[in-house]
Chains A and B, each alone.
Chain A
Amino acid sequence: AQTVTQSQPEMSVQEAETVTLSCTYDTSENNYYLFWYKQPPSRQMILVIRQEAYKQQNATENRFSVNFQKAAKSFSLKISDSQLGDTAMYFCAFKVTNGGSQGNLIFGKGTKLSVKP
């Protein structure tokens, strides 16, 4: 079975500091994509960052970066210079590569991040 585990139900960080959210996953597939989504109180699921499993280089998007360890099946998210607007639920997810015509996202249970002023 394919699973995603987020071991930190809640985390908090001071504004302007750095925080890392953990994620591990389990799959027998070799080709897949990994994602972090942010869900603020408005409940819309917003894509933060994605990583292709075949790429060794870690993805970065402005203040957001990942530490992808394929052998360990680990995919953590680092948020630098945390801002109050980063307060949200963060979900780790993966999807088997198949061109998008098939296949679905498998999500973890989420980590609630609070950024404190």
Chain B
Amino acid sequence: DAGVTQSPTHLIKTRGQQVTLRCSPISGHKSVSWYQQVLGQGPQFIFQYYEKEERGRGNFPDRFSARQFPNYSSELNVNALLLGDSALYLCASSLASWDSSGNTIYFGEGSWLTVV
């Protein structure tokens, strides 16, 4: 079975531009989350979506937005890019059930964003 897939894997943008990152969860997983990982740090939570609704938001500005589609895939959008947005953006999925499997989160390989 395919894992969490993300695209693109690498991209370079200019300050002020907008970027869209895409994610497909593991088959059967209904919850998708986004994390930002800057160099030398652990991932920081950005958003969580479940059944197309936002279920959680981290401490990120309104320039960050996301959505989830009926097939449970997701997009992360970042507007008015700043140099500080350069990071690895990780997508993760989970079953969203009450047992241990539902509370286990699996990650994709990430999208490397460089803002110049």
Contacts and interface: CB of A to CB of B under 8 A. Distances in A.
Contacts of B95: 100
Contacts of B31: 100-101
Interface in A53-101: 91, 93, 95, 97-101
Given A100-B31, A104-B33, A109 B109 contact: no
B60 to A, nearest CB: 12
Chain B interface residue bracket vs A: 35 or more
A44 to B, nearest CB: 5
Interface string B73-116: 00000000000000010101011111010111111111010000
Contacts of A4: 42
Given A104-B48, A106-B45, A110-B42, A47 B106 contact: yes
B94 A100 contact: yes
B-side binding surface: helix, strand, loop or mixed? loop
- Candidate in A43, A100, A109, A110 with the most chain B CB atoms within 10 angstroms: A100
A105 interface: yes
Nearest to A52: B100
Contact of B103 (A37, A42, A44, A100): A100
A99 B95 CA distance: 8
A45 B90 contact: yes
Contacts of B106: 47
B42 A33 contact: no
Contacts of B109: 42-44
B105 A99 contact: no
Contacts of B97: 99-100
Interface of A: 4, 33, 35, 37, 42-47, 50, 52, 91, 93, 95, 97-110
